[in-house]
Amino acid sequence: MRIAVVGATGMVGEVMLKVLAERNFPVTELIPVASERSVGKIIEFKGKSYPVVGMQTAVDMKADIALFSAGGETSLEWAPKFAAAGTTVIDNSSAWRMDPSKKLIVPEINASSLTKEDKIIANPNCSTIQMVLVLAPLHKKYNIKRVIVSTYQSITGTGVKAVEQLENEYAGVQGEMAYKYPIHRNAIPQCDSFEENGYTKEEMKLVRETQKILDDKTIAVTATAVRVPIVGGHSEAVNVEFSNDFVVSEIQNLLHHTDGVVVQDNNDTFTYPMPMYAQGKDDVFVGRIRRDESQANTLNMWIVADNLRKGAATNTIQIAEYLVASKLV
């Protein structure tokens, strides 16, 4: 199993390599791929050294699977070239997510839709993944009408430059800015650029991707995405209106038996999800599960996950694991 990691020297790429090793993915040959300025750099993986190669070299090496985390423009240009060479691409960028001919996959929800013909597979946005993993079983049982989500997103979603900005500000050092404003002791109500409707791209990803993954365009979703000075992961306050009524204990029990979800919900012991405890873990954590007393059939939840792992690297590798197990590559 020859595995290419495109964007191997980036923040998500590094986590991909870590997760591949941790999960003992059957890598017989690693092909680390990055931009020309990183070509020749040595990547260590499971006790072996691999030189970073450029894009065309990687295409010519005909990997079985290519895990992409190198941005949308790179993916639009190169993913079809890898696919034409027979490589199955799993892409982390937003490039292919809303393409009607491409599958948008969270393995626990819709991996069974994949076939050998799917040569470019889209990995959803990090904030979408953690939300839909919790919503999917609830939609199946109670039928979701509307979702209102407010996100509190880690600076790691922006990348290394943002982490350096926070560290510089914390230390009182003047440095390069990833954001238009200071992030230390601040909350910035803008993740990604603005669209014409006044929402950011990040907010609209939550709308469009949720409907596509749950295969239901009737679900109304509205979002506010906020960047906060946190490193461990993304947090979300989620309000869900159902067609059918529910019992809170039934919701808790249903989520307790959902793969990839961990319920942390005990007010007596002050147990609830927080990014500092989610960091480095692959699960999605949910708590503060309670009825919205202002409206019928409506629920409030607090959802937290490590955006670099389940929100990116781990979900990508879980897709690859499904492809291997199902003999689709």
Q: Are 311 and 129 in contact (CB under 8 A)?
A: yes
d(CA 162, CA 140): 38
Is 227 among the annotated ligand-binding positions?
Answer: yes
State yes or no: 290 annotated in a binding site.
no
Catalytic residue flag (residue 126): yes
131 assigned to a ligand binding site: no
CA atoms within 13 A on the CB side of 5: 27
- Residue 37 annotated as lining a ligand binding site: yes
**Number of residues written out for the chain:** 329
> 309: annotated binding-site residue?
no
Using CA atoms, how far apart are residues 62 and 66, in angstroms rounded to an integer? 9
Is 153 flagged in the annotation as binding?
Answer: yes
Q: What residues contact 311, with CB distance under 8 A and at least 6 apart?
A: 125, 126, 127, 129, 130, 157, 233, 234, 305
Q: Which residues, in sequence order, are bridge partners of residue 262?
A: 285
Alpha carbon distance 41, 241 (integer Å): 51
Q: Is 239 labelled a binding residue?
A: no
**Is 234 annotated as catalytic?**
yes
CA terminus-to-terminus distance, the chain: 9
Choosing from 126, 139, 184, 257, the catalytic residue is 126
Residue tagged active-site, from 191, 234, 256, 257: 234
9 is in an annotated binding site: yes
Which secondary-structure segment (H or E) carries 130?
A: helix 126-142
Q: What letter does residue 93 receive in the DSSP assignment? A: S
Q: Which residues are catalytic?
A: 126, 234
Binding-site members for NADP(+) are 9-12, 37-38, 307
Binding-site members for phosphate are 97
Binding-site members are 9-12, 37-38, 97, 153, 227, 307
